[in-house]
Amino acid sequence: MAGAGAVGGSRDLAGAAGPQGRAAEQTPRAAAMSSVASYESLVHAVSGAVGSMTAMTVFFPLDTARLRLQVDEKRKSKTTPAVLLEIIKEEGLLAPYRGWFPVISSLCCSNFVYFYTFNSLKALWVKGQHSTTGKDLVLGVVAGVVNVLLTTPLWVVNTRLKLQGAKFRNEDIVPTNYRGIIDAFHQIIRDEGVLALWNGTFPSLLLVFNPAIQFMFYEGFKRKLLKKQLQLTSLDAFVIGAIAKAVATTLTYPLQTVQSILRFGRHRLNPENRTLGSLRNVLYLLQQRVRRFGLVGLYKGLEAKLLQTVLTAALMFLVYEKLTAATFTVMGLKHSRKH
């Protein structure tokens, strides 16, 4: 009987342990899903999107000047103020804000995807421990790849809309006539094929190192500062955001120029090769740039880009940090009220 009891008892224990064992097996998967689909990741994503939209709206004319310098190679004006004055004089006072809505829409989607992916993967991988510079770089690259593959069509369309109606000095540029975002998508697919929406994807994938380097430096500086103080000040967020973006932009600028040209896609260059965005096209455009303007040509418009992107990134991180902190504070207050 004792043996039977023991056997029965062991069966009871096995039966009790079975579901718990299965639950234990499911716990890591459930934890992973909760990390990816967490409210915290959503807060980071929304804060990043709002921060980028705010910053880009403030500094949008600088981005307009940068794009003209990159794409219109025969423009004589070389400085940002001179280009902006030319644009206003020739195209009207609001011309520096041409294409604002599609750019802001694309930027909102792009930064939401990037911040959500970065912070979800960070929560999944780091799991409450301190992150490292290497991990931040890897997370930044993965988030960048996801972002590029999902949002490149939006950037192709907004680049063309932003340059539509511009007065170019370069006769090799074919003008466009889009009535809006939807019409631009329709015309590009009809005239150039669906894959044209992913023009510039190859340099964009190479350029995932830009935000990855930016986040690596930003998170590294942030960790060092938070060892000495409880939270970042507005000035801290602005300065380290600016430094991080300046380093990333300078290192990757030649590829950004090629990316802009490929996204615009209206140059009568290399007509025999229709597969834009391949390694062959990237090398071809880089060689053409060096042949025409020398090595300095690879950095044509860098001043405008640094001015725009550094200030935009700095303001974006400032808004992002403050909005994230405010949201989590409110969440904490609500939590304490419930208890």
Whether 140 contacts 114, CB under 8 Å: no
Supply the DSSP string of 326-337, one letter for each residue. HHHHHHHHHHHH
Instruction: Report how far Cα 11 is from the mean position of its chain's Cα atoms.
Output: 56
Sequential pLDDT tens for the chain (339 residues):
444 444 344 434 344 444 444 444 445 555 555 555 678 889 999 999 999 999 999 999 988 888 887 777 677 777 888 889 999 998 899 999 988 888 898 899 999 999 999 989 888 887 767 788 888 899 999 999 999 999 999 988 888 887 787 776 666 667 778 888 899 999 999 988 998 898 878 777 877 888 899 999 999 999 999 999 888 899 999 999 999 999 999 888 888 877 777 766 655 544 444 444 456 677 777 888 788 878 877 787 787 778 888 999 999 999 999 999 999 888 774 433 333
Question: Taking Cα atoms as reference points, which of 106, 333, 295, 325 lies closest to residue 234?
Answer: 325
Whether 129 is covered by a domain: the verdict is yes
Domain that holds residue 257: 46-329
Whether 146 is covered by a domain: the verdict is yes
Whether 1 is covered by a domain: the verdict is no
Q: Which residues of 240-254 are buried (b: 16+ CB within 10 A; e: fewer)?
A: bbbbbbbbbbeebbb
Whether 309 contacts 245, CB under 8 Å: yes
Whether 50 is covered by a domain: the verdict is yes
Number of structural domains (the chain) is: 1
Q: Which residues contact 301 (CB under 8 A, 6 or more apart)?
A: 65, 66, 69, 70, 257
Q: What is the DSSP letter of 295?
A: G
Beta bridge partners of 267: 173
Q: Which residues contact 144 (CB under 8 A, 6 or more apart)?
A: 114, 205, 207, 208, 209, 210, 211, 212
Question: Taking Cα atoms as reference points, which of 158, 182, 191, 184 lies closest to residue 264?
Answer: 158
Question: Taking Cα atoms as reference points, which of 169, 254, 168, 174 lies closest to residue 210?
Answer: 254
Question: Which pLDDT value is given to residue 291?
Answer: 83
CB-based contacts of 123-131 (< 8 A; 24+ apart in sequence) = 123/35, 123/36, 123/38, 123/40, 123/41, 124/32, 124/35, 124/36, 130/223, 131/219, 131/223
Whether 236 is covered by a domain: the verdict is yes
Whether 37 is covered by a domain: the verdict is no
Beta bridge partners of 173: 267
Whether 5 is covered by a domain: the verdict is no
Whether 80 contacts 62, CB under 8 Å: yes
CATH of the domain at 319: 1.50.40.10
Question: Which pLDDT value is given to residue 236?
Answer: 93
Distance in angstroms (rounded) separating the CA atoms of residues 169 and 77: 11
Question: Which pLDDT value is given to residue 285?
Answer: 77
Distance in angstroms (rounded) separating the CA atoms of residues 140 and 129: 18
Distance in angstroms (rounded) separating the CA atoms of residues 315 and 35: 28
Question: Which pLDDT value is given to residue 290?
Answer: 83
Question: Which pLDDT value is given to residue 21?
Answer: 47
Whether 115 is covered by a domain: the verdict is yes
The model's pTM: 0.69
